[in-house]
Chains A and B, each alone.
Chain A
Amino acid sequence: MSQDCNDEWELSKENVQPLRQGRVMSTLQEALAQQQETSIHTTLQLKKQEFESEIRFYSGDDPLDVWDRYIKWTEQTFPQGGKEGNLAAVLERAVKALNEQQQYYRDPRYLNLWLKFGNCCNEPLDLYSYLHSQEIGTTLAQLYITWAEVLEARGNFKKADLIFQEGLQRKAEPLDKLQSHHRQFQTRVSRQTLLGLEETPDEKDVDLVGAEQPQRSSLAELKGRGKKKVRAPISRVGDALKATKKNGSFPAVTSQQLSNNPGFAVFDENAASGPELPVLTPQPWAAPPLPRAKENELSARSWNSGRRPHSSASSGVGVPCPLPTFTPYVEESAQQQVMTPCKIEPSVNRVLCTRKPEKEEDPLQRVQNHQQDTQEKKEVVMYCKEKVYAGVEEFSLEEIRAEIYRKKAKKQTEELMQAIAQKKEEIQRQIEELEKKLKKKEDDKQKQPHEQPTERTEASPPLGPEGFPFSSVTEAGEKLPQLQSEFQVSEDAQLRRPSCSEGTQSGNVFLDSEDEQEEKRDEATLGKKDVGLIPPPGSATFFSIFDESSTLTNQNISCSADNTQKSARRPLAVLKPSDPLTAKENIPPEACDELNTIEHLTEDAIVTGSYKNKTLCANPEDTCDFVRAAHLASTPFHGVVAQRVPAPAFSQSVLKEDCPESKSAPLNPEMTGCEGAYNEALCVNKLSPIMEASREDTRSSGSSVSSGSSLSSVTQISTIKYLHIPEKLELAQSLPAEMVTDSGGVDENITGDDVTQFLWSAEQRKKLLDPVPESLAASPDFHLETGALPVMKVEKDVELGNETYCIKGEYWTNEEYKMFFALPTNFLQLDAKGFAIKVYSQPVPWDFYITLQLQERLKADFDQSFSENCSCYLYQDGCAVLHRDINHLTLGDVIRGCKSITEEVILLVVYNLLGVVEKLHKAEIVHGDLNPEVFFLGDRICDPFTNNEISRALKIVDFSHSLDLRLQPRVSLPNSFPTSTTPHGQQLLAKSSLPYQVDLVGIADIVHLLLFGDHIQVYQEDSMWKISQNVSKTVDSDFWSKLFGRILNADGKSTVPLLRELREEISDMFDSCFQERLCESLTALGETSLLKNFL
Chain B
Amino acid sequence: MAKQLGREQQGITLRGSAEIVAEFFSYGINSILYQRGIYPPETFTRVTKYGLTLLVTTDPELKNYLNNVVEQMKEWLDKCIVQRLVVVISSIENNEVLERWQFDIECDKTAKDESAPREKSQKAIQDEIRSVIRQITATVTFLPLLETTCAFDLLIYTDKDLAVPEKWEESGPQFIANSEEVRLRSFTTTIHKVNSMVSYKKDSFP
Contact = CB atoms under 8 A, between A and B. Distances in A.
Interface of A: 2-3, 5-6, 9-10, 13, 16, 18-25, 27-28, 69, 72-73, 76, 79, 176-177, 180, 184, 293, 295
Nearest to B53: A298
B149 A180 contact: yes
Interface stretch (B9-17, B80-88, B133-141, B160-168): B133-141
Nearest to A16: B141
Nearest to A180: B93
B122 interface: no
B143 interface: yes
B118 interface: no
B144 interface: yes
B116 interface: no
28 contacts: A2-B184, A2-B185, A6-B182, A6-B183, A10-B134, A10-B135, A10-B138, A16-B141, A18-B140, A18-B143, A19-B142, A19-B144, A20-B147, A21-B144, A21-B203, A22-B200, A24-B205, A25-B180, A25-B181, A28-B141, A28-B142, A73-B205, A79-B141, A176-B93, A180-B93, A180-B148, A184-B149, A293-B42
Contacts, number: 78
Contacts of A28: 141-142
B60 interface: no
A19 to B, nearest CB: 7
A537 B169 CA distance: 84
A238 B144 CA distance: 27
Contacts of A6: 135, 182-185
A20 B144 CA distance: 5
Contact of A22 (B93, B138, B143, B183): B143
Contacts of B206: 69
Interface string B32-44: 0000000011100
B120 interface: no
Interface string B104-135: 00000000000000000000000000000011
Contacts of B205: 21, 24, 27, 72-73, 76
Q: For chain B, what secondary structure do more than half of its interface residues adopt (helix, strand, loop), or is it mixed?
A: mixed
A2 B196 CA distance: 10
A22 B202 CA distance: 8
B78 to A, nearest CB: 27
Contact of B180 (A5, A22, A73): A22
Contacts of A184: 149
B145 interface: yes
Nearest to A32: B141
Contacts of A24: 142, 180, 202-203, 205
A18 B145 contact: yes
A13 B183 CA distance: 15
B74 to A, nearest CB: 26
Contacts of A16: 141-142
A2 B41 contact: no
A70 to B, nearest CB: 11
B141 A23 contact: yes
Contacts of B204: 72
Nearest to A1: B183
Contacts of B186: 2
A383 to B, nearest CB: 34
A24 B141 CA distance: 11
A177 B185 CA distance: 36
A18 B184 contact: no
Contacts of B201: 22
B141 A13 contact: yes
Contacts of A177: 93, 148
Contact of B182 (A25, A69, A73, A293): A25
Given A10-B135, A176-B93, A180-B93, A25 B142 contact: yes
Contacts of A18: 140-143, 145
Interface string B181-194: 11111100000000
A3 B149 CA distance: 32
Contacts of A295: 41
A27 B180 CA distance: 11
Contacts of B195: 2
A73 B142 CA distance: 14
Contact of B185 (A3, A72, A79): A3
Contacts of B181: 25
A191 to B, nearest CB: 8
A9 B138 contact: yes
Contacts of A2: 183-186, 195
A20 B98 CA distance: 13
The 4 closest A-B pairs by CB, nearest first: A22-B144, A23-B142, A16-B141, A293-B42
Interface centre among A3, A6, A22, A76 (most CB of B within 10 A): A22
B107 to A, nearest CB: 19
A186 B141 CA distance: 29
Residue with the greatest number of chain B CB neighbours at <10 A, chosen from A5, A23, A76, A177: A23
A425 to B, nearest CB: 38
A618 to B, nearest CB: 38
A979 B63 CA distance: 102
A68 to B, nearest CB: 9
B145 A20 contact: yes
Nearest to A25: B182
Contacts of A9: 138, 141-142
A72 B205 CA distance: 7
A29 B112 CA distance: 41
B178 to A, nearest CB: 12
A186 to B, nearest CB: 12
Contacts of B142: 9, 16, 18-19, 22-25, 28
Contacts of A76: 205
Nearest to A12: B141
A716 B184 CA distance: 80
Given A20-B144, A69-B206, 9 more contacts: A3-B185, A9-B138, A9-B142, A22-B143, A22-B145, A24-B180, A27-B205, A72-B203, A295-B41
B44 to A, nearest CB: 8
Nearest to B149: A184
B58 to A, nearest CB: 12
A189 to B, nearest CB: 14
B201 to A, nearest CB: 7
B104 to A, nearest CB: 11
Contacts of A176: 93
B198 to A, nearest CB: 10
A784 to B, nearest CB: 70
Contacts of B148: 177, 180
B42 to A, nearest CB: 4
Of listed B149, B180, B182, B206, residue having the most chain A CB within 10 A: B182
A10 B147 CA distance: 24
Contacts of A20: 144-145, 147
A295 B184 CA distance: 24
Contacts of B140: 18
Interface in B38-79: 40-42
A24 B179 CA distance: 10
Contacts of B41: 293, 295
Contacts of B202: 22, 24
Nearest to A298: B53
A28 B142 CA distance: 8
Interface centre among B138, B143, B181, B185 (most CB of A within 10 A): B138
A663 to B, nearest CB: 58
A19 B142 CA distance: 7
Residue among A2, A20, A293 facing the most chain B CB atoms (10 A cut-off): A2
A258 to B, nearest CB: 36
A76 B206 CA distance: 10
Nearest to A20: B145
